[in-house]
Structures are given as structure tokens and as C-alpha cells.
Structure 1
Amino acid sequence: MSIVKSPWPADLIPEVTGLARFNAAYNTALRDRAVFIGVGRRSRRWFVKADTLTAAPAHVTGENAQRAIVAAFVRLVGSREISRHSGPGPVHYTMNGLAGEARARELAAALHAALFGDLEPLALSTE
């Protein structure tokens, strides 16, 4: 698996259920110096995980992007789409308690885009 250093569409987000899959995807992102992004299943619910520590030092999540990400998390927690145990960064991002894989992938792709400065998908996904 090779990681690209730009936002991914939902269908390319790796499925990282289980420690072996998670570690493989995380180590690939670390090796490729790319932002880690993945979706997985925990019981009947899905999660999204992202981590910018795996990215090259030149990758920076801007202040506007971070504010937009936090606002999106607040909206999603407020609507009970993600659990209040989710974390909006600024380095490690987790969305817990999602009802299905398709929605987890949609939000993962939107979060990934936001981490690269494209805020529109996240705004549209969390209206």
C-alpha cells in the first residue's frame, strides 16, 4: 500500500479495523510521510481516525482549517452523529460512534481534505 500526499476520496480511505490493519496503514503513512486517515468498525459502530504526526514536517494544518474542523466536530456531537468522546485534534483526530461505513468514509474524506486546507467538503458533510 502506498499513501498519496493529497486528500483521498471516500473509496480510497483504508479500512483499519483491528490492530494489524491499523498498524499497517499507520506505518505506511509514517513511511511515506503522509497524513494518516482510516475508518474502522468497533462493535456495531464505525470510527474515523486521522493523525498529522505521520506527515512530513512541511505539512501544516492552518488555523482556519483547525477552527473549521473543531466547529464540524461540535456540530456532529450536537446532532449525536458522533460521540462526545471524539477528538478534534489538533494532531490526532477521532470521530467515534458513526452509524455506518458509508458515512464514516464520507466524513473521513472530508476531514482529510480539511487537513489539506480544502474546507468545503467538511462544511457540506456536517450541515
Structure 2
Amino acid sequence: MPTPGTPLPAALIPDCTEPEAHHTAYRSAKINNVIFVCIARQGRRWKVELDAMASSEPPIPDEAVIVLRSAAEALVLADTVTQANIAPDYISMWAIETEERAREIAAAFHAALHGLQQLHVAVPGQRRRA
């Protein structure tokens, strides 16, 4: 089991298809003060969900969101996902063909979001001088 606060490998991304599994995984993320990540079956396809609000760390800056949005757009253009929502504190992508691909995408975005969040904490933006 990874240390709380570290990105999860694909095999450990929780399947939150059932509402109780989602509730349990989100509660665990809140207790451990980490970014929530999961996959869930939607019909014959899969959804990826990440929520940085489970963590008390600040959301990543808009400049970093551009990187995540670009990656998500590439997945849409490649027909890997049909739709994606990317915000500083929440990411969702859906209609992913297989569970394995959903896990891979979830793990990659979890690692990226975690890393960008930690970078933002370590190197805060310059404050404007009045």
C-alpha cells in the first residue's frame, strides 16, 4: 500500500462503481488529506474522477490547469475519452473503453495533479506589489 499523499499506481485506483465504494474511498481521501481518485463503470464504459478538494492543499494555479487540459484534449482527439472536464480542483473523463485504460488514465492524472499541487506549494506564485 502506498504512503498517503503519494500518487496511486493504476492497480490501486479504487473502483467506485457502487455508491458505497465511492463514499468510502472519498472519506478515506479526506481522512488522509489526499487527492481523491477513482474509476467507475458507466454502462459498458468507464469514467475517471479526481477531486483535489478532498485535500486541504491549495488548488493548482490556472497555468498548471492548462497542462492537464491539453492532455485531456489529446485523449478526446484520440477518441480515448469522449468528454473531459478539467478544473483546478476537479477532473472527470468518461466513456473510456476498458477498465485497464481508465486505471492508466486515472493514475497518470493523479500523479500529474499531485505533482503540480506539490510544486505549487513548494514554489508559490509571486505576489503582486502594490
Distance, in Å, in 2 between the alignment partners of 1:61 and 1:31 is 21
Number of equivalences: 116
Q: Segments of 4+ in structure 1 off by > 3 A? A: 62-65
Unaligned segments of structure 2, at least 5 residues: 117-130
Higher-Rg member (1/2): 2
Identity of aligned residues (%): 32
The TM-score, its normalising length taken from structure 2, stands at: 0.80
CA RMSD of the aligned region, Å?
A: 2.0
Equivalent residue, structure 1, for 2:78: 79
Which residue number corresponds to residue 88 of structure 1? Answer: 86
- Establish whether residue 38 from structure 1 lines up as the match of residue 38 from structure 2: yes
Q: 1:43 offset after TM fit, Å? A: 0.6
Q: Output aligned runs, 1:107-122, within 5 Å.
A: 107-117=105-115
Structure 1 length-normalised TM:
0.82
Gaps of 5+ in 1: 119-127
SS in 2 for 1:117: helix
Which residue in 2 is equivalent to 1:68?
67
Deviations 1:64-110 (A, max 9, x none): 542211001111112221123x2112211101000000000000010
The 2-side partners of 1:116 and 1:9 are apart by 13
